Amino acid sequence: MIFNDIVRSISESGYMAMNSNLINMAVFSKTFDKVADVVLVVVNSNMTYNKEQLESIAFQIERKFLLKGSMKVNIQYVVMTDNIDRDKDMCTCGNASVWFADLLANRIISFENFNDEFKDLYSKLDDTLAMESGREIRESKKVDLRKIPFVTIGLFVVNMIVFLLVELNGSSYDTEYMLKCGAADWKLIFREHEYYRLVTCMFLHFGISHIANNMFSLLIVGKDVEKIYGRVRMLIIYFVSGIGASLVSAYVNMVQGQEVVSAGASGAIFGIIGAVVIGSLFESGEQVRNVRRVFILILIMALCGSGHVDNAAHAGGFLVGVAVSFIIMLIMNRKRAGMEEEHER
């Protein structure tokens, strides 16, 4: 709704929409006496762009207009964000001026490099957001479904339901019973080819302290990983890491000749902790910094859990999570770069 209002206000100010293949970005321009004024509206609530990417886009647009005969190009970004502290390092983007449309305060903010060529548009957009603020007060009771970590909540619920069903029909401390429920044992996996146990063991836990520790860790780190990578990618990281952790654990037990029955979501959780590490290398912002602060806490909790600690599963899950999330991040960045190249052409 706010995006549409901003776009409408820009159009009413005499700017024409330009064709653009950039994700979460709309481009407008108007030219008078060989001076081109370009406005780019960026929806950055999910950290779609960083400062370097905005600088690159601004450079390409300026070059495009200069090649078409413009003598001067004024570029104005309007970055729509729900986290000013995270995005304010974008306030300087080369020759481009940057305003922030604060989606929480419903106002336009300019930190520096204010371009007087756009002062009338600045006032108009500020009025637009002020009107939107009144509308949001009336709609404040509506829930933004995009901010709800459905995957994390879903995994939590499924794990709790499975645990309750296991306890209602037996005891989660009974290893024979847990094997019947689908716990992992290297002989059953490698000799009997019961590969389904690589997945089912991820949803089984030995006792209340085991599941409490894992689910608390999942809730802390899962919701933020879901925001960084998206719901589907977070689910992929979780399951691939969990299966990888189960495989590593079974292989190590086989090599060592240990008779161990394994279960638990900790391998998958270590995988999403690995995703936090990769996310902190590729992304920046308060969201990632908050996740990094809990990383050591989760690591200590997982290593100091009660009962037998399956370090092989933890290490395997972490390494698989790092590998999978690294590949995912490369794909995400290549898609962004490809869109920039397409816009340049």
Judging by beta carbons within 10 Å of its beta carbon (0-12, 13-18, 19+), is residue 151 exposed, middle or buried? buried
Token digits of residue 284: 């920046």
**Identified catalytic residue from 266, 306, 308, 325:** 266
End-to-end Cα distance, the chain = 31
Dihedral, 136, 229, 333, 85 alpha carbons, nearest 10: 50
Q: How far apart are CA 149 and CA 232, in angstroms?
A: 11
Token pair of 72, please?
């001067």
Exactly one of 205, 210, 314, 343 is catalytic; which is it? 314
Report the 10 Å Cβ neighbour count for 230: 15
193 in active site:
no
* Alpha-helical regions (H) of 170-310: 175-181, 186, 197-200, 208-229, 231-256, 266-282, 286-303
CA distance 156 to 21: 38
Record the tokens describing residue 240, joined without a space. 């691939």
Rounded distance between C-alpha atoms, residue 339 and residue 320, angstroms: 29
Annotation marks residue 280 as catalytic: no
DSSP strand E in the chain: where? 16-18, 25-32, 35-43, 72-81, 92-93, 96-102, 107-109
Query: Which residues have a catalytic role annotated?
Result: 266, 314
